[in-house]
Amino acid sequence: MHEAPWLTVLGLGEDGLDGLSPASRQVLERAEIIMGPPRHLSLIPDSTAQRVEWPVPFADGLPVLTGFRGRPTVVLASGDPFWFGAGSVIARNFEAWEWTALPGQSTFSLAAARLGWPLEATLTFGLHAAPLTRLRPHLSPGLRAILLLRNGAAVTELATYLTETGFADTRLHVMEALGGPRERSRSVSLTEALLGGFDHPVCVALEVAGEGRALPKSSGKPDEIFETDGQITKRPVRALTLSALAPHRGEHLWDIGGGTGSISIEWLMCDPTLTATTIEPRADRAERIRRNADALGQDRLTVIHGTAPDALDGLSLPDVVFIGGGLSAALLDWLYATLPAGTRLVANAVTLESEALLAQWHEKRGGDLLRIELAQAAPLGPRRGWKSGYPVVQWSVTL
């Protein structure tokens, strides 16, 4: 039978003790150790408790916190610790019986209340340590979103990013120190935001407007959004390939022969719980995949410069594998010998040799074999005719 929790994750607002419930006040009074960022510690009056500043980077604080195990300890967090806060990190690193949480009012709730926006129809982002490019798949005229930013200078960076992506008519609602005596709210244009002068802590609500290109939500994103040297799975084939890969929540993809990275990037765009690793033998293309992923807000893509199957050793096993390049009998043998039953595999072939290989493996292992032939209207003298692309043979199978 476990003892009572020794660790409390306490959500704190900018009004300090004034916004705390009686239960939260009692926890603070009984604490031997209070740990948190300097700003949060400054909101708590002096007491007999030992005060410990949470170090930067954040992960360095976990061993320090572990050293207090068994002693009444309070970790201070902003608002609701489980909404882009420290709560989930602590929950992953400590047993469930060791900790409890007393959430405060979230910054998102306070911001929505100031603006009169329904939260269920508003996107929320925690961009304290994440790049602004995380916004890119969502940017579209009419979007409303609330962002948590790392500091006041990030407001100017946000205004610059929105201008560069074509959404220069966006209106920003900049809110500083919400819920506290220093609270200040301003609605500004991007031009005004570029002048700076904003103080931390800050959140920004966006009303997106402008002539920027909105990315479609369907599979088969426009080819033009990817930097490429011509080695790219074209949009219609990419849409059919994503359909065959059939991403499910929480799955991990191996994209072998990444090329431009379009398959793994679109895979990640389907759902924020998806993960992917792409393997590319050419260094220049691996670097290009990294640039594409970062520019399109998919910085969580892992890019490996190497050749399969050698580069696959030691990687976390996938739920789904896509082979877009480097197809060989040796690679298929390795995948069948190494991956667990139930792993889904999709392979695309263009050459006669790789097409013949897929036909042999389809006969041996089953699955579905699909031939994709597409033609596009193009000038033909003074008239128009159909210009056919190379046919693509696609094999889909469950190991």
pLDDT in tens, 214-250: 999 999 999 999 999 988 899 999 999 999 999 999 9
Residue type for position 388? S
Q: With 80 as the cut, is the pLDDT of residue 141 above it?
A: yes
DSSP sequence for 125-169? EEESSS-GGGGGGG--TT-EEEEEESSTHHHHHHHHHHHHTT-TT
Nearest-10 Cα torsion for 105, 111, 117, 123:
-90
Q: Are strands 144-149 and 123-127 parallel, antiparallel or unpaired?
A: parallel
Indicate the pLDDT class of residue 20, thresholds 50, 70 and 90.
confident
Q: Are strands 368-372 and 392-398 parallel, antiparallel or unpaired?
A: antiparallel
- Structural domains for the chain: 7-105 (3.40.1010.10), 108-207 (3.30.950.10), 223-398 (3.40.50.150)
pLDDT of residue 2: 62
Closest C-alpha to 319, from 299, 339, 334, 347: 339
**13 near 180, Cβ under 8 Å?**
yes
Instruction: Write out pLDDT tens, residues 242-301.
Output: 999 999 999 999 999 999 999 999 999 999 999 999 999 999 999 999 999 999 999 999
Per DSSP, the three-state class of 59 is helix
**208 near 171, Cβ under 8 Å?**
no
**What pTM value is reported for the model?**
0.91
Average of pLDDT values for 136-156? 96
Give the N- to C-terminal CA distance of the chain in Å, as an integer: 44
Average of pLDDT values for 154-177? 97
Average of pLDDT values for 305-309? 96
Q: Which among 1-15, 33-47, 160-174, 220-234 has the top mean pLDDT?
A: 160-174
**257 near 326, Cβ under 8 Å?**
yes
Indicate the pLDDT class of residue 45, thresholds 50, 70 and 90.
confident
Pairwise CA distance, residues 395 & 123, whole Å: 38
Average of pLDDT values for 21-32? 92
Instruction: Write out pLDDT tens, residues 349-360.
Output: 999 999 999 999
Q: Which has more confidence, 121 or 15? A: 121
Pairwise CA distance, residues 370 & 368, whole Å: 6
Q: Give the mean pLDDT of the chain.
A: 95
